[in-house]
Homo-oligomer: A and B are copies of this chain.
Amino acid sequence: VPGRAATIYDVARAAGVSPTTVSHVLNGKGRVHAATRERVLAAARELGFRASPVARRLSHGRTRALGLLLPGDIGGDTFASYDFYVRVAAAAAATAFAVEDSVLLLPHVDDMALRRVPVDGVIVTDPEEHDARIGALLAAGLPVVTIDRDLGRPDQRWFVATDHERATRALLDHLHGAGARRIVLLTAPARLSWLAGTREAYERWCAEHRLAARVVEARSPDSVAAATARLLAGVEPPDAIFSPPERHAVVVARAARERGLRVGADLLVASGVDSPEARLHDPPITAIDQDPDAHGAAAVRLLQALVAGEQPDAPVWIPAALRPRGSTSGRPVG
């Protein structure tokens, strides 16, 4: 029926029951005769009925909308790339929609405005250390799930994350297997959980293998290129550079090539995040596939459980997969 959308009254009338019963059936509350239930379900399906999220929220306090807060610096030329977040967002939307929840894209507004967003809970991606937005949301009584943890909130266990220790070790083992012995970690100066976790894992791994740990930090592409040039021109130049941010790794590969080195042979290069840019590079760049789809889906499920007042298992660790490619083959490529 074109025109206005079906309401619970329409469904009730069509099924020959009261709105109360329709509500019970649709929400799995109370006991309803199986036959009645079927009739209601059929009528609802027939009418294409969808409970108004707004009315629902007003009556029992839920919007059935989950907020998604992406990093604020997205869109700039910093080391954060898009691929991961776009996929997280797409997976979150699909997962939520499957159970009639929806994902609201939250803008970057001040904390006060954030307390009034019409959602049941919020997913914060890559929070900063002591992220103020999380404080504001929690103060407003909204459950919060983070994708990768907030380094300043070690107590907050509602998060979804890669096991950076494990992923980093797998990558380093791979480099080691390809012959690398002087592996430099070229990371970014930001207090993010994944960078910190990766760095710790790297240092531990180096100690275990009695190899010198060398960590260099750079933020902009130019400084990454400069750092790479400096490393390669120095004494004991590295035979491998592991750069967690994918944009860094691409720049490292280019800088190495400009110095006449063959990436994948003379210098191994690897990224801590996978992306089309890494895959399409020449040579393709070995990367850790952190599985953004799984992150997005898990974050939604975790948040839904919290909204429902459950005590879900958390944190949720997402297995990462190493994607070995030409940039770490260890023998001449191209």
Taking Cβ atoms with an 8 Å cutoff, the residues of A that contact B are: 2-3, 48, 50, 52-55, 57-58, 63, 65, 68, 70, 74-77, 81-83, 85-87, 89-90, 92-94, 96-97, 102-109, 113, 115-118, 141, 221, 247, 251, 254, 258, 276-277, 279-280, 282
Can you give 11 contacting A-B residue pairs, CB < 8 Å? A2-B141, A53-B116, A53-B118, A54-B54, A55-B58, A68-B105, A89-B89, A90-B105, A102-B104, A103-B104, A254-B282
Q: Are A70 and B50 in contact (CB under 8 A)?
A: no
Q: Are A54 and B116 in contact (CB under 8 A)?
A: no
Which one of B57, B86, B105, B277 contacts A277 once the chains associate, using CB atoms below 8 Å?
B277
Q: Are A93 and B107 in contact (CB under 8 A)?
A: yes
Return chain B residues, CB-CB under 8 Å to A77: 276, 279-280
Q: Are A53 and B48 in contact (CB under 8 A)?
A: no
Q: Chain B nearest CB: distance from A228 CB in Å? A: 13
With known contacts A118-B102, A247-B276, A247-B280, A94–B75 Cβ distance under 8 A: no
- Tell me, in angstroms, the Cα distance from A268 to B91 when the chains sit together: 39
- Tell me, in angstroms, the Cα distance from A116 to B277 when the chains sit together: 36
Q: Are B63 and A54 in contact (CB under 8 A)?
A: yes
Q: Are A90 and B74 in contact (CB under 8 A)?
A: yes
Q: Chain B nearest CB: distance from A251 CB in Å? A: 7
Oligomer: number of copies: 2
With known contacts A2-B141, A86-B86, A282-B254, A93–B105 Cβ distance under 8 A: yes
List 6 tightest A-B contacts by C-beta distance, closest first. Answer: A94-B107, A82-B82, A93-B105, A93-B107, A54-B57, A97-B107
- When C-beta atoms are compared, the residue in chain B nearest to A87 turns out to be B75
- Tell me, in angstroms, the Cα distance from A86 to B2 when the chains sit together: 34
Q: Are B48 and A74 in contact (CB under 8 A)?
A: no
Return chain B residues, CB-CB under 8 Å to A2: 141
With known contacts A77-B276, A86-B85, A93-B105, A63–B53 Cβ distance under 8 A: yes
Q: Chain B nearest CB: distance from A110 CB in Å? A: 11
Q: Chain B nearest CB: distance from A136 CB in Å? A: 12
Max count, chain B CB within 10 A of own CB: residue among A54, A77, A83, A277? A54
With known contacts A74-B90, A277-B277, A97–B116 Cβ distance under 8 A: no
- When C-beta atoms are compared, the residue in chain B nearest to A72 turns out to be B90
Q: Are A116 and B48 in contact (CB under 8 A)?
A: yes
Which one of B52, B86, B90 contacts A58 once the chains associate, using CB atoms below 8 Å?
B52
Q: Chain B nearest CB: distance from A143 CB in Å? A: 14
Return chain B residues, CB-CB under 8 Å to A103: 104-105
Q: Are B86 and A75 in contact (CB under 8 A)?
A: yes
Which one of B86, B97, B247, B254 contacts A74 once the chains associate, using CB atoms below 8 Å?
B86
- Tell me, in angstroms, the Cα distance from A85 to B87 when the chains sit together: 12
Q: Are B89 and A105 in contact (CB under 8 A)?
A: yes
